[in-house]
Amino acid sequence: MRSDLEGTAKDLFAAIADGTLDSNVEYEQALEDAAKTDEAIKHGTTLGATVLNP
Protein backbone atom coordinates (compact mmCIF):
# COMPACT_ATOMS: atom_id res chain seq x y z
CA MET A 1 0.00 0.00 0.00
CA ARG A 2 2.81 2.43 0.82
CA SER A 3 4.43 1.84 -2.56
CA ASP A 4 1.11 2.79 -4.21
CA LEU A 5 1.05 6.06 -2.27
CA GLU A 6 4.67 6.79 -3.11
CA GLY A 7 4.02 6.12 -6.80
CA THR A 8 0.95 8.35 -6.80
CA ALA A 9 2.81 11.15 -5.02
CA LYS A 10 5.70 10.86 -7.48
CA ASP A 11 3.27 11.13 -10.41
CA LEU A 12 1.50 14.09 -8.82
CA PHE A 13 4.69 16.06 -8.20
CA ALA A 14 5.94 15.23 -11.71
CA ALA A 15 2.70 16.61 -13.19
CA ILE A 16 3.08 19.81 -11.18
CA ALA A 17 6.75 20.13 -12.18
CA ASP A 18 6.06 19.72 -15.89
CA GLY A 19 3.09 22.10 -15.86
CA THR A 20 0.36 19.50 -16.45
CA LEU A 21 -1.19 20.55 -13.14
CA ASP A 22 -1.11 23.98 -11.56
CA SER A 23 -1.26 24.53 -7.84
CA ASN A 24 -3.47 27.27 -6.49
CA VAL A 25 -1.60 28.44 -3.39
CA GLU A 26 -3.29 31.60 -2.23
CA TYR A 27 -2.52 31.60 1.47
CA GLU A 28 0.90 31.07 3.04
CA GLN A 29 1.78 31.40 6.69
CA ALA A 30 4.69 30.54 8.92
CA LEU A 31 4.37 27.28 10.81
CA GLU A 32 4.35 29.14 14.13
CA ASP A 33 1.13 30.82 12.94
CA ALA A 34 -0.68 27.48 12.49
CA ALA A 35 -3.41 28.39 14.99
CA LYS A 36 -4.13 31.65 13.12
CA THR A 37 -4.19 29.74 9.84
CA ASP A 38 -6.56 27.14 11.27
CA GLU A 39 -8.96 29.90 12.30
CA ALA A 40 -8.81 31.47 8.83
CA ILE A 41 -9.67 28.12 7.23
CA LYS A 42 -12.53 27.51 9.69
CA HIS A 43 -13.98 30.96 8.96
CA GLY A 44 -13.68 30.57 5.19
CA THR A 45 -11.35 33.51 4.72
CA THR A 46 -8.87 31.54 2.61
CA LEU A 47 -9.10 30.70 -1.08
CA GLY A 48 -7.22 27.91 -2.81
CA ALA A 49 -4.57 25.87 -1.08
CA THR A 50 -3.13 26.84 2.27
CA VAL A 51 0.57 26.23 2.94
CA LEU A 52 2.40 26.35 6.27
CA ASN A 53 6.07 27.21 5.79
CA PRO A 54 8.64 25.92 8.30
Domain ranges of the chain: 22-54
Mean pLDDT of 4-24: 90
- Count Cβ atoms below 10 Å from residue 24 Cβ, excluding itself: 8
Interior CA angle at 25 toward 1 and 11, to 5°?
30
Q: What is the mean pLDDT of the chain?
A: 90
Q: pTM of this prediction?
A: 0.54
pLDDT digits (tens, 9 = 90+) for 17-28: 999 988 778 889
Mean pLDDT of 1-12: 90
| Spatial CA neighbour of 37 closest among 26, 52, 25, 48 | 52
Residue 33 has pLDDT above 90, yes or no: yes
Helix H or strand E segment including 29: strand 25-30
